[in-house]
Amino acid sequence: MGFSAALQGESSHTALLTRQDGELRLLDTMRRVLVARAKCDRDYAAALTHLAHTAAKMDNNDVDGALDQSQLHKAWRVMVEGLEEWSSVMRQNADTLVLDTVEKLAALITEKRASRKVYYEEHQRITNEVSRLQEAVGKSKNNYEQALELYKTSKTKYEDQYLKGKPGRKLDELKERYQKACRKLHQVHNDYVLLLCEAADYERDFRTVLLPGLLEYQERVQEDMIDKWRCILREVWELSDTSQGKFAQLQTEIGASVTAISPKAEYSIFSDVNKSSPPEPVTFEFCRDLLGDGVGSLQAGQLAVDSLTVDSLRIKLNDVEHRLRDVTAELREKQNLLNQHETEVVNIRKNSLQDSNIASRLPVLKRASDVLHRELNELRCKESWLQHQHSIIHDPLASLGCEEAPQPWEAAQAHVNGESHQRSDSLSLKSRSAAIKELLRKPFNRSSSKAGSHSPTSTPPQTPSRPPTEERSTPPDMGSPHTTPEGHHTEGLAVNGIPELTYDPDRCLEDEQWFHGVLPREEVVRLLVEEGQYLVRETTRNDEQQVVLSVCWGSHKHFIVQTTPEGHYRFEGPAFPTIQELILHQHQCGLPVTNKSGAILRTPIFRERWELNNDDVELRDKIGRGNFGDVYKARLRDSGLEVAVKTCRVTLPDEQKKKFLQEGRILKQYDHPNIVKFIGICVQKQPIMIVMELVPGGSLLSFVRNHKGQLAVKQMMGMCVDTASGMAYLESKNCIHRDLAARNCLVGHHNVVKISDFGMSREEEEYIVSDGMKQIPIKWTAPEALNFGKYTSLCDVWSYAVLCWEIFSCGEVPYHGYSNTKAREMIDSGYRMLAPPNTPDEMYQLMLKCWQYDPENRPHFPDIYAAVDTIYSTL
């Protein structure tokens, strides 16, 4: 019986942790005993050697020459010489026991501790999620009860006032309160239904997939370590087997006991002893008591789809679809990575007979594949409940078959309007009560809720009014009084805080501040964050250039500017001679761009301060080539400043252009003497360009190669200090460089090193790679990133030590003469590069700390900077 079937209960979880703690203590005891055993064997071997030399000396001095040809004397000579050979073999076995077997035992202890930590943290994470969902459901239920109480109270007050037959301001106020309470109740109802669905799906997956999957993974890990443990004990047995007399009997017994060890049987007995029942299912059901005597059209466990909720449901649907796409993409990427691992395993097994060294990579691949299997199970669960959420929301919305939901308030409103004309004809209380009940039975539509202060008989306004936009505060570091917090400029503020645009016939489209050129769609989505924000950009579809209006309205909407046969521009309304006049009209009229979208232009997003015009940059000499395009030495026309410019090839897809601009977006927020400075980007037209400071010395790799034999040790240490300073700054900003190497650093004036090339960088504390092993610099990358795709700043620490090795070796290739695959195998087996000539011993010891296999044992960059600065100051 396996872990997943037998050990799902809490008591089993505790027993498993206790078992692992006991195994760790046993491993540590074995390590200490074996070290002491090796010392005893060495002492014994030394005593035997001394005895053999003494016996030989005594033999030469005391034996009569007449015995030289005696067979008895020859036998004694053989015995004395055999005594020294016995001593030599015992000493060799003792050395092997310490240098090989005990080291394996220490590595197993480290691995077992890490395995226990991973299991404990993963078990806590998935278990806490069930508790969190239980708390969330309870909180949502309380919110539901409060909203329901507010709804019933406002309903009663409004009905009482209406039955008094006194229309006026008070009736309007009570009506508005009732409308708000009704809307809030519907929203809370939907949140409660969706949360119950999510909680039920997760709890089911927790019991059937996540917890069993974690336990299956843990069982395989523990069995693997039992197998390693058995191999270590077999080595001890073989090294200590003398095969004579009592030793033979003892070793036979030891060998039988070691051979009897079976990883499967070991945990089978444990599972039977600690067997427990799986956790009881947690039921998530709609509390029908909430509805009581009924609240209109609300149904237990069903979404309320009407004019009060349709917009919020569409937003939720878009969010679910976006998350579902992300999960599906991640699922596909991890499946591809798993397929790569399995293919590599097959190839290793085919070639293991020719090269026994590559077989050492099999355990690493197996462990990585086990982790991927568990992550895939969790992603499939997530995909399943997201699909369920999508179905719950999408199906009722799709059944509407129209842009807007039904308007139940209008029919009731018309009914009340007709009845109100008969009030002067002595309308009976019974008739008026029936009208009120019909009115209150269904939710209000949006036109009524926005009508403001109207009596039940008044007609809602026909033209939607544009709500005022709050004026944004001016941050002190922007300077201009018309600069938004995001760094976008405006031309002025009109009534109600709505930006006022002006039209200048002499100004072309490219000069308008709200025109963002060929900025990729992903960057546009990042800029438009508030309702009604918009900008204009240019895109190419089917080799045709098109001007696009992008608006944030519920979601992000993109409208292609249409061209009339007369050469004018329009959307659904009137046409204008220029795009500027079209945008100005659409901004000022307050009408939707299209009736279906309902999107209204409120706030233009102007170009950010660092968005330069392509014509402001004069490209000169080509000085290099990058992953996305060429690198040029250039000059800014206005200031004459010489700069470096990275260009992006026009033919690249938008996804690649997004990655290209990511480097500029990261660099623009950094300011440090050892980080290359960002000046701006050019997106007004193709090609897109990133403008940075020009660092005259070129790459650090070329510099140390060209100055081989000319750099003093203190100069090379200074380069290590500069790089550590820049990396400590990046670590403080939660930036993982991921490609730190001498080729990606530049040398400025006075040999100051500046870190560059942030194309692979990520701004987060931990990043899990999802695009396979493409373009990964194998010899510079930490083992956990290669094996599991997990990046942190401690991965950059590993790369930093390789960079320092490049500096002191004057630009030699790391692991020279070895392929990437062979270098990975050597690193996993414990090999580390030797110190290049002239490397200070303290610096090499620091490099070895940075190359610790376990990332938690590596120093962080602030500590590295302090250490290298101290070494530098002592030279």
Q: Which residues contact 762 (CB under 8 A, 6 or more apart)?
A: 735, 736, 738, 791
The span from the CA of 62 to the CA of 542, in Å, is: 106
Among 715, 757, 763, 725, CA closest to 739: 757
d(Cα 514, Cα 510) in Å, to the nearest integer? 9
Query: According to the annotation, is 28 in a ligand binding site?
Result: no
811 is in an annotated binding site: no
CA distance 279 to 219: 19
Distance CA 275, CA 69 (A): 75
669 close to 610: Cβ distance less than 8 angstroms: no
User: Could you tell me the sign of the dihedral formed by the alpha carbons of 57, 62, 64, 65, in that order?
Assistant: positive
Return the DSSP state at 306.
S
Measured distance CA(385)–CA(200) in Å, rounded: 9
- Within 10 angstroms of residue 338's Cβ, the number of other Cβ atoms is 17
Identify the CA nearest to 485 among candidates 522, 525, 533. Answer: 533
Block residue for tokens 């989505």: 525
206 assigned ligand-binding residue? no
| Closest residue by Cα to residue 830 from 285, 360, 160, 501 | 360
62: tokens are 């005391």
Q: What are phi and psi of 534, to 5 degrees?
A: -150, 165
Phi, psi of 557 (to 5 degrees): -115, 145
Structure tokens at 495: 């009534």
Q: What is each CA distance from 191 to 144, 198, 349, in whole angstroms?
A: 9, 10, 53
Q: What is the C-alpha to C-alpha distance for residues 742 and 571, in angstroms, rounded to an integer?
A: 53
Q: Residue 725 belongs to what H/E stretch?
A: helix 713-732
Give me 609's structure tokens.
């301060």
Report the C-alpha gap between 637 and 617 in whole angstroms: 6
* Distance of alpha carbon 438 from alpha carbon 752, whole angstroms: 80
Does 9 show up as a binding residue in the annotation? Answer: no
Catalytic residues: 739
The answer to whether 772 is annotated as binding is no
Sorted by sequence, the CB contacts under 8 Å of residue 509 that are 6+ apart come out as 515, 536, 547, 578, 579, 580
Contact present, 324 and 386 (Cβ < 8 Å): yes
The answer to whether 828 is a known ligand-binding residue is no
Angstrom distances, CA of residue 785 to CA of 341, 766, 823: 14, 11, 15
Write a three-state SS string for 568-590: CEECCCCCECCHHHHHHHHHHHC
Q: Which residues contact 354 (CB under 8 A, 6 or more apart)?
A: none
Sign of the CA dihedral 808, 813, 819, 820? positive
Q: How many CB atoms lie within 10 A of CB 247?
A: 12
Helix H or strand E encompassing 745: strand 745-747
Residue 615 has what DSSP assignment?
G
Residues 537/541/544/547 CA torsion (nearest 10 deg): -20
| Token representation of residue 150 | 């507010």
Tokens of 663: 């480097």
623 is in an annotated binding site: yes
- What are phi and psi for residue 718, nearest 5 degrees? -60, -35
Residue 625 annotated as lining a ligand binding site: yes
Q: Residue 638, Cα to own-chain centre: how many angstroms? A: 41
Is 627 part of any known ligand binding site? Answer: yes
What are residue 549's phi and psi, to 5 degrees? -95, 120
228 labeled part of a ligand binding site: no
Q: Torsion-angle region of residue 570: left (phi > 0), alpha (psi -120 to 50) or beta?
A: beta
Per the annotation, binding residues are 623-631, 646
Binding-site annotation: residue ranges for ATP: 623-631, 646
